[in-house]
């Protein structure tokens, strides 16, 4: 337990050996370290000083959160980082989703390794102004499950914050796991003294997702992290009509692909239809979606991003959706959200950029 580190064999939700409740809280019952923690001298965590020194060169720190998994949080984190880097900002993307690190895949960095220098761990770079850190770079086998209790996860997050040498950064985007668990408490605890700009919360439109997003907003309010805004992702399937497949369903459940015939018919009879964008609601938004929830909870609504197959493809290929004009429906929506964030919170950076 050197330097106030949480022991690997500690119970889940361990308050930490430096906490006033160490060895005394309900979470400590049955822990093999309970007596040591209860009698050990308490004091400030020296690692917080090291974290503060590292973060002193980072201007803005943004948490990207979600109430549920599978809503596109990591996709948003990746594309936000690409967008900020495209504006010539120095950007870092830290993946603290310990059990499901998808950021290396979404940034096209699979198979890369972390290197160490006399300054600390070096991020893996997509471009000279976009660096990434993830446990995904540390796994010998990408299919290997990470089965860690809370204390070990918290230890790695602390190590990322105090040992990674980012250099001068304009923005550090932190991609957190879904929910409000140990990782979230730790990242807020470790960064609070260095100044967190706030959190962006990603959701889908249906109530089953929004129920958990309300908890995420409540978490942010309780721990004092400003909510920069909520993004409604997968807000309807939206793509050019000509990119759809047209099928004729049979009574036995099988289908016949009529796509070529339909496209040819439209080309001959109504060519203007080939330029149309078709949209269909995938998730039920009859409850008002994220926009209504934001009004009720008094937090900003940043906008809607449609479910765009081309954006999904960009994530699979580790590419920016802004680089090629293929994400016709999602890229403009994401760009509008980034511009809204810049205008609302980082206007001074916009002035420097101009």
31 marked as binding residue: yes
| Measured distance CA(176)–CA(223) in Å, rounded | 15
List b or e across 241-252, with b for residues whose CB sees 16 or more CB atoms inside 10 angstroms. beeeebeeeeee
Q: Is 70 among the annotated ligand-binding positions?
A: yes
Check residue 140 and report its DSSP letter: S
Do 300 and 226 form a contact (C-beta atoms < 8 A)? no
**99 annotated to bind ligand:** no
Burial of 352 (0-12, 13-18, 19+ CB in 10 A): exposed
H-helix or E-strand spanning residue 279: strand 277-280
Residue 6 DSSP one-character state: P
Nearest to 6 by CA among 155, 136, 158: 155
Rg (CA), the chain: 23
Residue 12 and residue 35: Cα distance in Å, rounded?
A: 17
Q: Across the strands, what pairs with 94?
A: 133, 174
Give helix 46-55 / helix 150-163 axis angle, nearest 10°. Answer: 50
- Distance separating alpha carbons of residues 202 and 74, to the nearest angstrom: 9
CA distance 200 to 175: 10
User: Would you say 92 is a known binding-site residue?
Assistant: no
23 known member of a binding site = no
Handedness of CA 66, 83, 103, 283 (dihedral sign): positive
327 is in an annotated binding site: no
Half-sphere exposure of 45 (CA within 13 A, CB side): 23
Class of residue 8 by CB neighbours under 10 A (exposed 0-12, middle 13-18, buried 19+): exposed
Annotated binding site: 14, 28, 31, 37, 67-74
Residue numbers belonging to the annotated binding site for ATP: 67-74
Q: Which residues contribute to the annotated binding site for [4Fe-4S] cluster? A: 14, 28, 31, 37
């Amino acid at each position: 337990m050197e330097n106030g580190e949480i022991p690997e064999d500690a119970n889940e939700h361990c308050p930490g050996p430096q906490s006033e409740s160490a060895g005394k809280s309900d979470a400590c019952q049955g822990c093999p370290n309970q007596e040591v923690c209860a009698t050990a001298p308490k004091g400030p965590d020296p690692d917080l000083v090291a974290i503060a020194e590292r973060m002193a060169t980072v201007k803005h720190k943004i948490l990207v959160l979600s109430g549920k998994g599978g809503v596109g949080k990591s996709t948003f984190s990746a594309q936000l980082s690409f967008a900020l880097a495209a504006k010539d900002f120095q950007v870092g993307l830290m993946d603290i989703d310990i059990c499901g690190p998808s950021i290396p895949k979404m940034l096209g960095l699979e198979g890369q390794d972390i290197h160490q220098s006399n300054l600390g761990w070096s991020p893996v770079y997509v471009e000279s102004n976009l660096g990434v850190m993830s446990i995904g770079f540390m796994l010998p086998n990408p299919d290997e499950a990470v089965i860690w209790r809370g204390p070990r996860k918290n230890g790695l997050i602390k190590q990322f914050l105090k040992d990674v040498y980012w250099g001068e950064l304009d923005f550090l985007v932190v991609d957190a796991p879904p929910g409000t668990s140990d990782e979230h408490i730790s990242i807020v605890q470790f960064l609070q003294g260095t100044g967190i700009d706030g959190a962006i919360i990603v959701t889908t439109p249906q109530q089953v997702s929004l129920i958990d997003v309300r908890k995420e907003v409540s978490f942010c309010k309780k721990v004092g992290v400003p909510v920069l805004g909520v993004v409604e992702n997968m807000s309807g399937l939206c793509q050019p009509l000509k990119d759809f497949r047209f099928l004729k369903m049979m009574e036995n459940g099988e289908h016949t692909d009529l796509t070529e015939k339909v496209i040819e018919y439209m080309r001959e009879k109504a060519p203007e239809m080939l330029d149309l964008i078709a949209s269909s609601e995938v998730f039920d938004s009859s409850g008002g979606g994220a926009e209504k929830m934001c009004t009720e909870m008094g937090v900003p609504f940043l906008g809607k991003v449609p479910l765009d197959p081309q954006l999904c493809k960009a994530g699979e290929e580790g590419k920016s959706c802004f680089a090629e004009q293929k994400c016709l429906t999602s890229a403009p929506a994401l760009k509008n959200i980034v511009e809204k964030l810049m205008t609302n919170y980082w206007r001074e950076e916009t002035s420097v950029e101009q």
